[in-house]
A and B are shown apart, each in its own frame.
Chain A
Amino acid sequence: MKTLRLRGGRVVDPANPGSGTIRDIGVRDGRIVDLHPDAPADEVIDCGGCLVMAGGIDLHTHIGGGKVNLARLLLPELQRDCCTPDAAQAWPEALDPAAHVVPGTLLTGYRYAQMGYTSAFEPAMVPANARHAHMEMGDVPILDHGAYVMLGSDELLLRWMAEGKPFEQIRDYIGWTLNATKALGLKVVNPGGISAFKFNQRKLDVDEHHSHWRVTPRDILHTLARGLTELGVPHPLHIHGSNLGIPGNIESTLATIDALEGLRAHLTHIQFHSYGTEGPKKFSSAALQLVEAVNRHPNISIDVGQIMFGQTVTASGDTMRQLANAHHASPRKWVGADIECDAGCGVVPFRYKEQSYVNALQWAIGLEIFLLVKDPWRVVLTTDHPNGGPFTSYPHLIRLLMDRDFRNEQLARIHPDVAANSALKDITRELTLDEIAIMTRAGPARLLGLADRGHLAAGAAADIAVYREAGDPESMFTTPEHVFKDGVRVAYKGRITASPVGGTHFVEPAFDRGIEKHLKAHHDVHGSVRFEHLAISHDELCECSRCGGTHVVACEPGGAV
């Protein structure tokens, strides 16, 4: 029962009263505790001149599972001399961003921890690939993790919707799937579209019919969102919308919000879905329209999926759109798959260029969204790693959001038409430390239902990052002085000091077990694994994730909309 006192830091903790005050933080048994100023402590760390924040939480980052490993196999040239456990533990002097496009799991865990992040969530776990995803996440050292399982292009859901099966049956199927795959949430990617592509359909608008099953994305979205609401899953439906990357897709994005009819949902990498068709190039920012809709719909949260200039790779479940974009591949190679009547994946390497009109506009759109949405609790800071750029660019992104002069300097370097015309140049807002803390910790914790993460009140997990308040925000957020995971110091000035195994966060919503006979009947005909072997037990999850701890996140069935 050792007690640790972090003394005299400025505590930035917007989830609790008194954020920004200078005070001590106590830690015992991996938890934050109230510590009387005179109470003895076994260890005291002077945090004078430092900011003390909860550990960062990345709610959308492709860190593990089939398509991530395919990306590594596709791109050996992006691996650098830093991938071994030994080498990764030191923050490299000259940071080569390409090294973090598709790092191995070891490097992923170390780099996140070195930046003060203590949790990361994989947003696209294919049911058939769930064991693999948990294996990879288990091999990401230090970080807590979890995943959103993909439904919405699985043949079973589409069939049942087409056959008009009762909603309760579909709801229980969702509940079963979340339990069986040990998922934290539910993701839908191009609703119905991944399946439609298997039937050779190349486009699917929100109100268009799947050519075979005759259901629409609108119906799929509403059905899944309603299912999660009734099951009481804290994280709302995680939506990768229709028509990713297509000029004018703001229409489908607004239609998606409309389809939800007020049900809660999280629209991910929304930057890629906020495009208009104005101007000479028929490609324009629709950030204003998007922001207006988000401001008006309190049921909607977003993460941005900011793009960063340079080499990266896009890894997505959206085979339909990835195949359409494959001719942009740089370097010229890509990989894809149709998966188990469940889903699909497409991996296309890409280089975002400052002098490309399209890329420059994408960059500006992302920043406009960050800066124009009023409620920071509904905006999460992401680059959709690695799709918009590697997660190691977060400190740079934070500086862009906090420092208008710096932002305008960068704006001046990109394609001149964008620099001259973008609404970005007139936006004066600079995000505050509280707002950054919300978008990178407190907000995602709340959106995921992680009651004891993302804040520093007594009882919370002692996931803490201590940043020296000096220099610009980019350098400050790159290398914290100290990082603690469950009370253990894991990084000190950029060096890894301990490498505990992170825990898995998942939900276990109640559902009617009667669904299993229907699932088995379907699976016996259409599956390739015995139904009895699909579900992951707690013991098996432990084997997969190296027994770093299982955190069952509470569900509240019938919860309010």
Chain B
Amino acid sequence: MNETTPPPAAAPALAAHWTCPFCPLLCDDLQPDAATLGLPDSACPRARDGLSALAGAPASGARVDGRAADLDDALAAAAARLAAVRQPLMAGLGGDVAAARAAFRLAAAVGAICDAVGGDALVQGLRVQQDRGGFNLTLAEVRERADLVVFVGSWPEGRAPRLIERFTAGRDQGPAMVALGAVPMAEGVESVLPVAALADSLTMLSALVAGRRLERPNPELQVLAERLRAAHYAVLVWEPAQLGPHGGLLIEMIQRIVVTLNQSTRAAGFPLAGANGAATANQAFTWLGGLPLRSRIGHHAIEHQPQRYGAARLVAEGETDLLLWANPFPGVVPIDTPLPRIVLAAPDAAATLGDESNTIFIPVATPGVHHRGHLFRTDGVVLMPLFALREDGLPPLAEVLGRLAEAMEGGA
């Protein structure tokens, strides 16, 4: 390259098609510069952060126990270690559908226990889905129909910066918005503070919505209950990951309120969940084997244990002898453990590995930035197509998992 005559500054090549993979809303209207991965300052901060984490050259190639290795050698080492253990754990699961399909195949080949990234939150929502069900709606329905939106327990703006915009864009008159037990960070949103714990507020609200007479109803909740009953279409929004260890109980109460309202008017829930491909992995595992994550994909049976098969617990209690971490998104930190580890992650995970004496690290490409793919949006209905902005020379997670599966199936 002739350094004295730099090429003329190229006009930014804006991507004609892009779906942002950095939060479960999967907005598809931004146009990053495909070369620099830049977005205007005014664009969603989370999208900008996600892209800028991937803007430089990959920080690391594959490493085996801290030493640089080529992909083939790293894969061979990983297969050897997988073959040598009794009960592998595949954790951090998340990625596009192709990666989830390959993960299932590998799990079936080695009899792995499988958990999602953010599995504790996933299981809170799952518990309610399994115990009582619920009634939800999708993004376009919220925007079309909601005249009252209640955010329960948290204000999601930091994690899904464009949520309010996507609820209201293009509407003449947006819905009334109330935050219950959360501090709103937007104008025009009323806030109802919890009576004591959020559970108590929801219990009371549920009773009031059902028309039960209470001795000392909280006046604010009484007003909120009236408004819910008067709304044509009320939407309750929550983030499982923000509801704490008893989130399942709270979600159950939210769904009870929805069911009560639907007896006379219309209402639905809108969970904001499943970031970093967790929802996608969970959907794909569910359709392939019939059971969701937190399952052991054995040769002869799939065993689903939502409480027992939490990755952190299994590692801490020594119920696994190898951790395979698989997640292609930047900013996702693998579990730290002295157990043998195989880490398939975005290159920035290299900096978080700590002691690598027993760790195989294989950096992978990020779907929606480096290659095409599909992710489920937060409503679990819309499966968004992802587009490639530019290649980074790293293999997709699906390819790495697929090659490992092939090796393990051959060796079985």
Interface residues of A (CB under 8 A from B): 64, 66, 68-70, 72-76, 79, 81-87, 102-107, 126, 128-129, 131-132, 135-136, 139, 155, 197-200, 323, 332-342, 347, 524-530, 532-533, 540, 543-544
Given A102-B290, A129-B381: 12 more A-B contacts, CB < 8 Å? A72-B291, A76-B130, A82-B301, A86-B108, A128-B382, A139-B284, A199-B266, A336-B135, A340-B141, A526-B143, A528-B143, A540-B385
A-B contact pairs, 28 of them (CB 8 A): A69-B283, A70-B129, A74-B129, A75-B130, A76-B292, A82-B301, A84-B301, A86-B108, A86-B299, A104-B286, A104-B288, A104-B290, A107-B290, A128-B382, A129-B381, A129-B383, A198-B141, A198-B266, A199-B266, A336-B135, A337-B138, A337-B381, A338-B138, A339-B141, A340-B141, A526-B140, A528-B138, A533-B385
> Which residues on the B side are within 8 Å of A199 (C-beta)?
266
B300 contacts A335, CB within 8 Å? no
Complex partner residue of A74 from B130, B283, B379, CB under 8 angstroms? B130
> Which residues on the B side are within 8 Å of A347 (C-beta)?
133
**Is B38 engaged at the interface, CB distance under 8 Å to the other chain?**
no
| Smallest Cβ-Cβ distance to B126: which chain A residue | A73
Report the count of interface residues on B (CB-CB < 8 A): 59
A103 contacts B141, CB within 8 Å? no
CB distance from B240 to the nearest CB of A (A): 14
Interface bits B281-308 vs A (CB < 8 Å: 1, else 0): 0011011111110000111111010000
Complex partner residue of A128 from B138, B268, B291, CB under 8 angstroms? B138
A533 contacts B19, CB within 8 Å? yes
CB distance from A40 to the nearest CB of B (A): 36
- Near A by CB (< 8 A), chain B positions 93-134 give 97-98, 101, 108, 126, 129-134
Complex partner residue of A72 from B97, B266, B287, B299, CB under 8 angstroms? B287
Complex formed: what's the CA distance from A107 to B289 in Å?
8
| Smallest Cβ-Cβ distance to A73: which chain B residue | B129
> Which residues on the A side are within 8 Å of B268 (C-beta)?
337-338
Of all A-B residue pairs in the complex, the 6 with the closest CB atoms, nearest first, are: A104-B290, A335-B133, A81-B301, A528-B140, A528-B139, A131-B383
Complex formed: what's the CA distance from A87 to B301 in Å?
7
> Which residues on the B side are within 8 Å of A76 (C-beta)?
130, 291-292, 304
A543 contacts B372, CB within 8 Å? yes
A79 contacts B140, CB within 8 Å? no
CB distance from A94 to the nearest CB of B (A): 15
> Which residues on the A side are within 8 Å of B379 (C-beta)?
337
- Near A by CB (< 8 A), chain B positions 150-205 give 166, 170
Contact (A337, B129) CB under 8 Å given A155-B144, A200-B265? no
> Which residues on the A side are within 8 Å of B286 (C-beta)?
69, 72-73, 104
**Is B207 engaged at the interface, CB distance under 8 Å to the other chain?**
no
B304 contacts A341, CB within 8 Å? no
| Smallest Cβ-Cβ distance to B131: which chain A residue | A333
A334 contacts B381, CB within 8 Å? no
Complex formed: what's the CA distance from A209 to B290 in Å?
40
Complex partner residue of B382 from A135, A524, A528, CB under 8 angstroms? A528
**Is B36 engaged at the interface, CB distance under 8 Å to the other chain?**
no
A341 contacts B144, CB within 8 Å? yes
> Which residues on the A side are within 8 Å of B287 (C-beta)?
64, 68-69, 72, 104-105, 135-136, 139
Question: Of A323, A337, A338, A543, which is in contact with the most chain B CB atoms at under 10 Å from its CB?
Answer: A338
Complex formed: what's the CA distance from A64 to B284 in Å?
11
A529 contacts B144, CB within 8 Å? no
> Which residues on the A side are within 8 Å of B17 (C-beta)?
532-533
Complex formed: what's the CA distance from A526 to B66 in Å?
52
Contact (A104, B289) CB under 8 Å given A76-B304, A340-B138, A347-B133? yes
**Is B380 engaged at the interface, CB distance under 8 Å to the other chain?**
yes
B384 contacts A339, CB within 8 Å? no
**Is B262 engaged at the interface, CB distance under 8 Å to the other chain?**
yes
B131 contacts A79, CB within 8 Å? no
**Is B233 engaged at the interface, CB distance under 8 Å to the other chain?**
yes
Complex formed: what's the CA distance from A197 to B297 in Å?
40
Interface bits B26-55 vs A (CB < 8 Å: 1, else 0): 001100000000000000000000000000
**Is B222 engaged at the interface, CB distance under 8 Å to the other chain?**
no
**Is B137 engaged at the interface, CB distance under 8 Å to the other chain?**
yes
| Smallest Cβ-Cβ distance to B138: which chain A residue | A340
**Is B81 engaged at the interface, CB distance under 8 Å to the other chain?**
no
B266 contacts A529, CB within 8 Å? no
CB distance from A64 to the nearest CB of B (A): 7
> Which residues on the B side are within 8 Å of A197 (C-beta)?
266
> Which residues on the B side are within 8 Å of A332 (C-beta)?
132
CB distance from B108 to the nearest CB of A (A): 6
Complex formed: what's the CA distance from A106 to B101 in Å?
12
| Smallest Cβ-Cβ distance to A345: which chain B residue | B381
B302 contacts A83, CB within 8 Å? yes
B145 contacts A198, CB within 8 Å? yes
A128 contacts B298, CB within 8 Å? no
